[in-house]
Structure 1
Amino acid sequence: MTDDLTTMLRQRLGLADPVPVEFQRGDATEADGFTRERIEYRGLEGDPIPAFLFTPNGRGTLGGVVVFHQHNGEFHFGKSEVAGDVGDAFQAFGPALARRGVAVLAPDAITFEDRRGAVHGVEPDYYDWLQHYSAMSYRLLDGDLLMRKCLDDAQRALSVLLQAADVDERRVGVAGHSYGGYTALYHAAVDSRCRFACISGAVCSFETRRRENTGITLFEAVPGLARQLETHDLLSAIGPRSTLVVSGTGDKYSRDADQVVAKVTGDFITELRVDSGHALDQERFDAIVEWIFERVSDT
């Protein structure tokens, strides 16, 4: 079932196999325990994809992780929130992980921060939401899918991390919260190079989201997708690779995460479920950092 779902989803999306990606290095800034470097590479449509690369200083690099940023209705925040420059302090995984010896690549998702058409940077624009919507709807008009673009972007990010940080391919994975968690979930399901996956605030069945009118991410607008899979199928497709599922009992985007995990066979999933809401807190942030550190430290 695992290989069948991965193959089906890749074929359904028309997702190309991962390939080496050319990238350009930009400005580098030294900080306490790590270096932050601007990286830029091209997407499959020739579009520039900016990212921050965090690498540890004064110690060897244990492994690496692509961190996909959250949504939170803030299209002007992307990689800079993972960097801790703006937004929620409990999204600043780049510095926290790099100080522990983990290389981190944090790319802007399409229509976020420096990948917005009208403006760049971390100031909001009234039409930010419309650009995000159009990224889905225009592709549907052309018979294409936003999910194909997003997952191709994700594959390229992992390729760039492997190349730019020169990390062991056995010690790389993906992580994200909320929108970033959905990206990590689907990416790990279709790309076996992801040796581990941390999925936070993003495990909830289609059935529950439909019943409670929670909604879906726009990149999940794939005609017939819910007839072909459910959320537990995606988690199953990641196994036996190590997976962390983080959820809050009061989080509508993780309403039935414990029930979804219970449907998955195998013991590859670590579940952290707390009595809290959607936004991360110190407990979950620290647990995610520690879990990723342990994954890249394993021999």
Structure 2
Amino acid sequence: MNHLTLQSLTRRNSHRGAVALIFAAAQLAVAADPSWLAQVVTPPPMVKTSSSETLQTADGMPIVTLRQWQDKRAIVDADWRDFLGVYSAAPQLPLQVETLRSDRLEHCTRTLIRYQAEPDRSVRAYLLTPHQPSEKKLPAIVAFHGTNAKTFQKLVGLDGEPERHMGLRLAEQGFVVLCPENFLWEQKSYLASTAAVLAPHPHSKAMAVMLADGLRAVDVLLAQANVDPQRIGAYGHSLGAKESLYLTAFDDRICAAVASEGGIGMHSTNWEAPWYLGKVVKSPDFTRDHADLIALIAPRPFLVLGGETGRGCSDGERSWPPLLVGQRVTKLYDAPVRIGLWNHHEGHQLSWESGERVIQWLSAYVADHHQN
């Protein structure tokens, strides 16, 4: 059987992606920014800009031009793909989408679907489609759920905490929303589920599988006749925020994203878990940092929501160093800085008000992206 590596899988649109990144400044220049943009892109006075290997040339000199960064970007991208490992799937694998259930709600239709992620493994997802008629294709969001025994049900309004019904809330704003189910609940435990998905890919990190599943989710959205391929964003909370980070870094089809309380810092949360990156991240000679991923995302808009303190809290003021790297890369493109942190100081949760910020961010930089 022919195989497709994670590298080639995410570069199937590489030419368009390179052009998109080069001209991102022009494309985003006239976007209507949220009124609170300056607040989230301005670090507190005590946060200092530090040197980063991400923005150094091979001989240790600071990167000061876009051409230097483009050369370094290719190296950073390849290094991370190598670290994540080869994730193989049959090329041109059909989605084989099937409908399991469909409910017509007040503002949208909520459809439970299943599609092929790789040979012998499928993924369930809820697809939320707005009712309002539109002559134009609609913006779309891949919305990743957090750690929850009911997986994606909260996102789509089938479980408590209305403030966490972000998939439903985004659909009510006119987005087509796909909420895929993470593989961690396919077996009786996270460890068993991780072992099962990695069995065909023994040299991959489990995060590579989550990334590949995210890429597949974008494919499903693009297969919808009413979705605008130029207006696709990503959102996730906690576990889902990790998926949003990786998907946005490695898939240029994502034009803007939000990561709520996922832990941008490599040591801010349990990245060492076997279902993420593994114990290697705790090794003293491990030098990779998520500043690399934020730099790969730049100059696209990327918002981190942090709760600062409390049980399970993963983001806050400590998240600024990698975000500042992304801001510095953005300036190399001569683009507006739209990478930042909304530090709500509410712990590891998503309040209704923070959800409103998510909606405003994605409305500005995904829904309005066609105006640029």
Q: Which amino acid in the other structure matches residue 253 of structure 1?
A: S
Tell me the distance in 1 between the aligned counterparts of 2:278 and 2:263: 18
The structure 2 residue matched to 1:50, chosen from 124, 138, 143, is: 124
Name the structure 1 match of 2:11: none
- The answer to whether the Cα contact below 8 Å between 2:114 and 2:122 also exists between their aligned partners in 1 is yes
The structure 2 residue matched to 1:151, chosen from 206, 211, 228, is: 211
Equivalent positions of 1:97-246 (< 5 A) are 97-112=170-185, 116-117=186-187, 128=188, 131-137=189-195, 139=198, 142-164=202-224, 166-206=226-266, 208-209=267-268, 214-216=269-271, 217-222=273-278, 224=280, 227-246=286-305
Instruction: State the structure with bigger RCO (CA 8 A, min sep 6), 1 or 2.
Output: 2
The structure 2 residue matched to 1:14, chosen from 86, 99, 117, is: 86
Q: Which amino acid in the other structure matches residue 188 of structure 1?
A: T
Post-superposition Cα deviations, 1:30-66, rounded to whole Å, max 9, x if no partner, equal 1111111111101224212111100111233530010
Identity %: 23
Tell me the distance in 2 between the aligned counterparts of 1:8 and 1:276: 36
Aligned residues: 276
Q: Secondary structure at the match of 2:101?
A: strand
Question: Structure 2 length normalisation: TM-score?
Answer: 0.68
TM-superposed CA distance for 1:95, in Å, is 1.5
TM-superposed CA distance for 1:247, in Å, is 1.0
Q: Which amino acid in the other structure matches residue 54 of structure 1?
A: L
Tell me the distance in 2 between the aligned counterparts of 1:161 and 1:228: 35
Tell me the distance in 2 between the aligned counterparts of 1:52 and 1:135: 21
Larger Rg over CA atoms: 2
Tell me the distance in 2 between the aligned counterparts of 1:288 and 1:198: 7
Name the structure 2 match of 1:124: none
Name the structure 2 match of 1:286: 356
Q: Which amino acid in the other structure matches residue 350 of structure 2?
A: L
Query: What's the C-alpha RMSD, in Å, of the aligned pairs?
Result: 2.4
Change (3 A) 1:223 1:5: farther
Tell me the distance in 2 between the aligned counterparts of 1:11 and 1:166: 36
Name the structure 2 match of 1:125: none
Name the structure 1 match of 2:141: 65
Where do 5+ consecutive residues of structure 2 fail to align? 1-71, 331-336
Post-superposition Cα deviations, 1:205-253, rounded to whole Å, max 9, x if no partner, equal 22x43xxxx4325433246457252122111111111111111222531
Change (3 A) 1:3 1:22: farther
- The answer to whether the Cα contact below 8 Å between 2:143 and 2:236 also exists between their aligned partners in 1 is yes
Q: Which amino acid in the other structure matches residue 79 of structure 2?
A: M
Deviation larger for 183-192 or 132-141: 132-141
Where do 5+ consecutive residues of structure 1 fail to align? 118-127
Tell me the distance in 1 between the aligned counterparts of 2:205 and 2:80: 12
- The answer to whether the Cα contact below 8 Å between 1:147 and 1:222 also exists between their aligned partners in 2 is no
TM-superposed CA distance for 1:16, in Å, is 5.5
Q: Secondary structure at the match of 2:154?
A: helix
Post-superposition Cα deviations, 1:166-225, rounded to whole Å, max 9, x if no partner, equal 31111002110110000110111111111111111023322x43xxxx432543324645
Question: Structure 1 length normalisation: TM-score?
Answer: 0.83
- The answer to whether the Cα contact below 8 Å between 1:64 and 1:102 also exists between their aligned partners in 2 is yes
